[in-house]
Amino acid sequence: MTQVAEEHEAGKNANSAGSDGKVADGLPVRERMLALLAIGLAMTMAVLDGAIVNVALPVMAKDLGVSPASAIFVVNSFQIAVTASLLPFASLGDILGYRRVYLFGLALFTAASLACALSPTLGWLVAARIAQGIGAAGIMSVNIALVRFIYPSKLIGRGVGTVALIVAMASAAGPTVAAAILSVATWPWLFLVNVPVGLVAFAVALRTLPFTPRSGARFDVVSALLNAVTFGLLIIGIDGIGQAEGRWIAVAEIAAGLVVGAVFVRTQLSLPAPLLPVDLLRIPAFALSMATSIASFAAQMMAYVALPFYFQDVMRLSETQTGFLMTPWPIAIAIAAPISGRLADRYAPGLLGGVGLALLAIGLASVALLPANPSAFEIGWRLTLCGIGFGLFQSPNNKVIITSAPRHRSGGASGMQSTARLTGQSLGAALVAVIFGLAHESGGSGAAGHGPAITTAIWCACALAAAGAAASVLRRQPGG
């Protein structure tokens, strides 16, 4: 049976959701494809804008008349806004319906993109980026929850795999898209391109996204504030811990974040539907999937941050050559993710995820053991193996996260999935910064010092992937 015929068979008896909140098991094929298009466009914009701005920071700093250090707030403000808003929006998704939250996030993101492009000063730009990050959180927080209602139960793995493919391709395309736009236009166009795409995505989403049940619960404002303070302090602290001159301040920020976080968690334990879904963490499959997600994204980010230093500082390659050598990893993810999503509909997701992270660990170990003067082929097959392993892991793991939670808590599960990804990426980048900082303080500067520090970072990433593989195979899920 062909893919189209199989999807038609799975969705032929499904009816579009109605405004009464009753939802069938997935949408018919045509509506499903259009809904996925809307999600794909919005997710592409949200993920791209998390990385696309990095390339333009020097130009932005010059045009706005600010220092490079100040320009970094353009990136950090977006990251903090996204992470601090994910769980509140996930909670609102359970309360108001995922469709409403998604449409609001998409509308805000599109409007904030226009505001970013028109910003005359750094202050205005940072404010617009905060609004853009909040909009992106609205998109990211419920996208997997919507997949659960867009696809029939028997095809959820395929839907999750498709979203993983979109995220991987958007992440990989970020620097290339930024370079292409900047080669023909000024930096405001990095944001202006979102406007027509966002309008199209909104029109399609308004027509096709399903209505979902609403819990009718009240939104917990105090919990949302505690969440924002916790994640804000942790991210700011993690970003600064790699800088020797401000390390103690960063440690104090992390400590304060942990204290507020402890209060936050304590308040959630007595709530029937907590904003931080600690009740879902009591489900072993969900908790282990969250742990493996954090470990895997931390491992990947450590390699993503460390390897460009190896290529440019040790091998003396150009930025273009570095980008070329890094390409096999995201391409392999893009190929493996949808395949593993289909496999997850037929085989145990925990086992698939364990195999994927084991392959990632083997690939990272082979990278750490690269010869002194490796060829492009020797680098390429190692990074391809890493990408295949990560892609094989990601879709089954996301399926377990969303399906191990009760259907009416899909928003909380989706928000936790995105939070795990961003937390892992932040931890991975911070670990590399600490390793590099310690190497510099011990006198290891330049290429000679970077080599051992890079190797240490890759071995740490390998250990994280191996630990994640062990946790993955421990998962047990009915029917999985």
Confidence class for position 152, pLDDT limits 50, 70, 90: confident
Domain boundary among 220, 243, 261: 220
Domain co-membership, 292 together with 201? no
Single out the residue of 305, 329, 291, 299 nearest to residue 463, CA to CA: 299
Confidence class for position 442, pLDDT limits 50, 70, 90: low
CA distance to 13, 79, 275, 276, 294, per residue, from 228 (Å): 42, 12, 12, 11, 19
Q: What's the helix, strand, coil split of the chain in %, to 5?
A: 80, 0, 20
φ, ψ for residue 114, nearest 5 deg? -65, -40
* Cβ atoms 302, 463 nearer than 8 A: no
Domain co-membership, 114 together with 32? yes
d(CA 56, CA 70) in angstroms, rounded, equals 14
DSSP 3-state assignment of 12?
Answer: coil
Query: Exposed, middle or buried, 410 (CB in 10 Å: 0-12/13-18/19+)?
Result: buried
Least confident of 46-60, 190-204, 347-361, 390-404: 46-60
Single out the residue of 415, 464, 158, 182 nearest to residue 298, CA to CA: 464
Examine the pLDDT at 145 and tell me if it is beyond 70: yes
Domain co-membership, 49 together with 153? yes
Rg (CA), the chain: 22
Domain co-membership, 172 together with 291? no
Domain co-membership, 414 together with 302? yes
* Cβ atoms 49, 136 nearer than 8 A: yes
> Is the residue at 250 inside a domain?
no
Least confident of 174-183, 191-200, 308-317, 356-365: 174-183
Query: Exposed, middle or buried, 270 (CB in 10 Å: 0-12/13-18/19+)?
Result: exposed
Domain co-membership, 332 together with 452? yes
Domain co-membership, 331 together with 479? yes
Mean local confidence (pLDDT), 173-187: 76
Q: Write down the pLDDT at residue 243.
A: 66
Domain co-membership, 209 together with 124? yes
Domain co-membership, 191 together with 312? no
Domain co-membership, 330 together with 183? no
Examine the pLDDT at 387 and tell me if it is beyond 60: yes
**Average pLDDT value for the chain:** 81
> Is the residue at 254 inside a domain?
no
Residues in the chain: 480
Query: Looking at per-residue confidence, does 379 or 425 come out higher?
Result: 379
Q: Is the pTM of this model over 0.85?
A: no
> Is the residue at 115 inside a domain?
yes
Instruction: Give Cβ neighbours of residue 257 (< 8 Å, ≥ 6 apart).
Output: 229, 230, 231, 232, 233, 234, 237
Total domain count, the chain: 2
d(CA 474, CA 161) in angstroms, rounded, equals 22
> Is the residue at 36 inside a domain?
yes
Query: Looking at per-residue confidence, does 154 or 42 come out higher?
Result: 42
> Is the residue at 46 inside a domain?
yes
> Is the residue at 42 inside a domain?
yes
Examine the pLDDT at 329 and tell me if it is beyond 50: yes
In this structure, what CATH number is given to the domain that contains residue 24? 1.20.1250.20
Domain boundary among 187, 205, 220: 220
d(CA 296, CA 292) in angstroms, rounded, equals 6
Residue type, 365: A
Query: Looking at per-residue confidence, does 105 or 312 come out higher?
Result: 105
Examine the pLDDT at 77 and tell me if it is beyond 90: no
* Cβ atoms 217, 273 nearer than 8 A: yes
Instruction: State in Å, rounded, how far the first CA of the chain is from the last one.
Output: 23
* Cβ atoms 193, 181 nearer than 8 A: yes
Domain co-membership, 299 together with 435? yes
Q: Write down the pLDDT at residue 268.
A: 87
| Tens of pLDDT, residues 1-56 | 344 344 443 343 333 444 444 445 667 788 888 888 888 888 888 877 766 776 67
Full domain range(s) for residue 48 = 8-220
Confidence class for position 441, pLDDT limits 50, 70, 90: low
DSSP 3-state assignment of 385?
Answer: helix
Single out the residue of 86, 111, 123 nearest to residue 425, CA to CA: 86
> Is the residue at 258 inside a domain?
no
Structure-token pair, residue 417: 């999935």
Domain co-membership, 200 together with 297? no
Query: Looking at per-residue confidence, does 467 or 417 come out higher?
Result: 467
Single out the residue of 380, 211, 187, 400 nearest to residue 291, CA to CA: 400
> Is the residue at 297 inside a domain?
yes
Domain boundary among 172, 197, 220: 220
Residue type, 99: R
Q: Write down the pLDDT at residue 385.
A: 96
Query: Looking at per-residue confidence, does 88 or 330 come out higher?
Result: 88
Mean local confidence (pLDDT), 315-322: 73
